[in-house]
Structure formats: C-alpha cells, structure tokens
Chains A and B, each alone.
Chain A
Amino acid sequence: MNRLVRLGLPLLGVAALIAAWHLYVVLFNVPTAVLPRPATVLQSLVQNWRLIQSEGWITLWASLYGFLLAFVLGVPIAVAISSSRILNLMFYPLLIATQSVPKVALAPLILIWLGTGLESKLAIAWLVAFFPIVVDTAAGLRNTPAELIDLAASVRANAFQTFWKIRFPAALPFIISGSKVAITLAVIGAVIGEFIGSNEGLGNLMLVANSQINIPLAFAALFGLALIGILLYSAVVAVEWALRPWFAEIAH
C-alpha cells in the first residue's frame, strides 16, 4: 500500500503535468511551431528514435568522458592542495573564487583553441565538472573527523598511512557528492559545446530542428537529453548506494 502510493504519486504528478500541457495547447489553440502537443512529441520521438539514439550516444560519451577526465584530474589535484599547506594557500582561494565564474562563457574561446570536434565538447564538459569535484574532494580531505586523526596518531600511523587508510576513505562521501553535481554539469557542458560549434550530438540536433521549425523533433531531442542526464546521475547514485553501508557512520 505504502509502496504503491510512493511509486504511484510521482507518476500521477507527471501525468497531471502532461495533461495540463495538452489542455493548454488545445484550449488556447497554440500552433505546433510554438508548442506541440505531448502526443505529437511522442510521435516524433518514435519516428526519430534511431536518430535520437545515434546522436544521443555522441552526447553521452562527450559528457561521460568530460566527467571522467574531471575526476581523474580533479581528485589528485584536491589531494595535492589538501596535503600541502603552501599549495593550499596558493590555489584554494582561487578555486573557491572560480566557482562563481560562469565557465561556459569560455566556450567560444575553447572552440577557437580546439576546433569543432570531440575535443572542444570534452573540454567544456571537463571545465564545468572539474570544480565541484576538486572543491568537494578537498573539503572532504580537510574535514576528517578529529577522532579518526587521534586514532591514527595513537597507533603511530605515518602521513602516508594516515592518508590512504583514514583520510581518503573518510572523504569518499564528499567525493561522491561532488561527483553528483559534476556529472549533471558535464551533460550541460557537452550540450553547450554542441550548441556553439558542432555538427553532431543532441545539442546540434536541437539547433537543426529549431532552424527547420521542426519543434516536435526539438522536444524529442530534449527528451533524449533528459534521459542521458538521468542515466548518468543514476550511475553515480548507484555507486553511492553500493558504498552506503561503508559510510553509514560518517554521513555528513
């Protein structure tokens, strides 16, 4: 019963929104070129499914690679700045400051530097995903519970052992919460890359559909993007869920 309600109510919410959308279009006689009916979007989605799929893979890989690149570069950099006081003082304030800079504004420059291929999309996805990973990982490494540090000191663990056996595993929940933000931003970064200069991917498909005033196709591409976002986010959540028992006690 409870479970049924929990599953049923969100579906009911979605259904209500779609119904409202449909009613709005019908009642106010909105032209398809402005806002198509839900059924028309669905029809376009089914008709163009192969196209959405093939373009979707391109966007998916660009987002995922951008995220992975941000992760493999971001975590070691966070380790470096949280292990060295000098590096920390040099770069941590800068990192915090760049958090508030709209990094997508760099996209046109990146396009000039890297061209219209995968590289530029990857670079933009990397750029937006990098900061949350670095900042959250560094925060996690700086916030090791004091009692665990006491434990390490009491058994005379050296700095290396303290890091690998205590501080790094204790920071994993932070790294994962940074990754959740980063993976969502990576999709946005990839799409912006496609908007600005690319001839493939779902972002590009949306632009093409818009210019042909094929609004149902634009909506179908948007649906594909939503699917990619949800898929990638769920993958990170799955990792978090798998690790949950390990971190039950250091949940922050």
Chain B
Amino acid sequence: MASAQGDSPGDARVADQAAFGRLTQVGKAFPPSSRKADKVVALVEVSYQLRRGELVALLGPSGCGKTTLLRIVGGLTRASDGRVEIAGSEVTGPRADFAFVFQSPTLLPWRSVLGNVLFPMEIRRRNDNAARARALELLDLVGLAGFAKTRPHQLSGGMKQRVALCRALIQSPSLLLMDEPFGALDELTRMEMQDLLLDIRQVAGATVLFVTHSISEAVYLADEILVFSARPGRVIDRIRTELPYPRTSGLRYTAAFTALERRASAGLGVLHDEPLGHE
C-alpha cells in the first residue's frame, strides 16, 4: 500500500495535477566537430510533464541523448532549444534542490566514505553535527554502517554506488537525477541496488529521473517510461507502468511485467516474433 507518494501513483496524479516539472520542446545540438561537418543533433523536441514524486525512466539505445536530457534538466548542460521548468522556475544551472548520481561513483579517493557523503554539505558550509548524524543514518540505511572511515578504493562497485547515493540523499533533493547509476554493476548487485532504490524512494520522497538502457530495470523501477529513438533522440513511446507498490522481485515474473517489457522492446525496435532472415 505504501508507495513513494503515500498513495498509489494514480491517486497522486489526481491530487497533484499541477506538474512538478515541465519540459517544453527541449532540443540539443552540439557544434560541428570540424568546419565541413554538420552539427550533431542529439535531442529533438522533447516535451513532458513530470509529476511530483514519480520515478520516470529515460530508456533508449546508447547515444540517443537520454543522458543529455538528464543533464539539461539538472542544469549541467544548456539546451539549445526549448525550456525546462522545475518546481515553478526555469532551470538555468544546478540547483540546491537537485542531486545527481552519476554512472561512475565519482567518489573522491582521498576522502573517507563519510567525508564523501558530507562533501555536498561542506560545499554548502553546513558540515555540522546534524549533517554528520544524518550521513551516518544514511550509510546505515544503505547497509554501510561501520564503513564510515573506510577509503573508497577498499569498497566494491556496488558499495561505492551506495555511497554516491548517500551523497545525493544528504542534499535532501526534491529532484534526484540518476544517470545509468547501476549500469556498471553485475546483474545480482544491480538487482539489489534496484530494490534499495525502491526502498529509499519511500523515505526520500523525491521525484526521480533515471537514465537506463535496461528494459527490465526501467519497467521494475518506473512509474512512467519515456522510450527514446536512436540519434537524434526523440520520445517515441510513453509507457505508464501502473505496477503496484511495494515492488518486489517476484513482480519480474508476472504477465503484466512481461507485457510492459514487450511493449518497450517493440518501441526500441528490438522485438522480433519471427526469426531474422538472412539473405
């Protein structure tokens, strides 16, 4: 019954009709690499209304511009066209109520685990006892109690990404931007991290944008999936998953889950019911 919204996603939609975020005709073209080359169009006319508290997966093949879109929404990259509004104001750069989790953990190797989690608070000059207590609490939440003084190089890939997650959560973001955060992990660790993220959403209550190229990951985590075409990236399908919360791994083997995976595969053009002919 308990979901990240406190109610089922359907009720949240009714209760919070005003969109949390609004993307209007967002596009991105990179300047040409040489004088003769054409400019590289990465992203075309993405319009979308982001609902408060939802997890939206950006799903697409490599190089489809989904990471570019995430960076634009988060203020790390400027759009060439269109505008992004979050919580009522236009995004012009990184904001205090945004937090990122990148594809690689990007921990600072010269700091301890605790020092890494506290890094954003130090930048905000709010590295006080309360922040420290909160950091330890978050480490406990992700199963890293007792690792506060460990150095990053002593951790496994999954543990590092947990630290990166704590570093994002300590900023109490209203928008969490995750760029293929589990892409480099092995299958089992990846599934563990997905369950951890589902748990954490209930605590954090943040709206999440989640870039992935894994169909099953998108279906398992998301309230809505935006399916992107290959470059230039455009949204070719929007899939509301409507899967119940709390989600547990058993869900992966239900008919509803498989049907969603099938629809996403079809959108990505990787669904074939006939063997591929070779001439």
Which A residues form the contact surface with B (CB < 8 A)? Answer: 145, 147-148, 150-151, 153-157, 161, 165-166, 169, 172, 245-250
The closest CB in chain A to the CB of B101 belongs to: A154
Q: Which residues on the A side are within 8 Å of B104 (C-beta)?
A: 147
In the bound assembly, the distance between CA atoms of A201 and B131 in angstroms comes to 57
Q: Which residues on the B side are within 8 Å of A156 (C-beta)?
A: 93-96, 123-124
A interface footprint on B146-189 (CB within 8 Å = 1, 0 otherwise)? 00000111000000000000000001000000000000000000
In the bound assembly, the distance between CA atoms of A159 and B153 in angstroms comes to 27
Q: A147-B106, A153-B76 are known contacts; what are 13 more A-B pairs with Cβ within 8 Å? A: A147-B104, A148-B106, A150-B102, A153-B94, A154-B100, A155-B119, A156-B93, A156-B94, A165-B108, A165-B123, A172-B110, A246-B109, A247-B109
Is there contact, CB below 8 Å, between A157 and B123?
Answer: yes
In the bound assembly, the distance between CA atoms of A147 and B106 in angstroms comes to 6
**A/B pair count, beta carbons within 8 Å:** 58
Q: Which residues on the A side are within 8 Å of B120 (C-beta)?
A: 155
Is there contact, CB below 8 Å, between B102 and A147?
Answer: yes
Which of A145, A157, A161, A246 makes the CB contact (< 8 A) with B110? A246
Is there contact, CB below 8 Å, between A154 and B98?
Answer: yes
Which B residues form the contact surface with A (CB < 8 A)? Answer: 74, 76, 93-96, 98-100, 102, 104, 106-110, 119-120, 122-124, 151-153, 171
Q: Which residues on the A side are within 8 Å of B107 (C-beta)?
A: 249
Is there contact, CB below 8 Å, between A248 and B123?
Answer: no
In the bound assembly, the distance between CA atoms of A250 and B107 in angstroms comes to 10
Is there contact, CB below 8 Å, between A249 and B100?
Answer: no
Is there contact, CB below 8 Å, between A150 and B123?
Answer: no
Which of A150, A169, A245 makes the CB contact (< 8 A) with B108? A169
Q: Which residues on the A side are within 8 Å of B94 (C-beta)?
A: 153-156
Is there contact, CB below 8 Å, between A250 and B122?
Answer: no
Which of B95, B98, B122, B151 makes the CB contact (< 8 A) with A165? B122
Is there contact, CB below 8 Å, between B102 and A169?
Answer: no
Q: Which residues on the B side are within 8 Å of A247 (C-beta)?
A: 109-110
Q: Which residues on the B side are within 8 Å of A245 (C-beta)?
A: 151, 153
In the bound assembly, the distance between CA atoms of A147 and B179 in angstroms comes to 12
Is there contact, CB below 8 Å, between B151 and A246?
Answer: yes
Which of A145, A155, A172, A246 makes the CB contact (< 8 A) with B123? A155
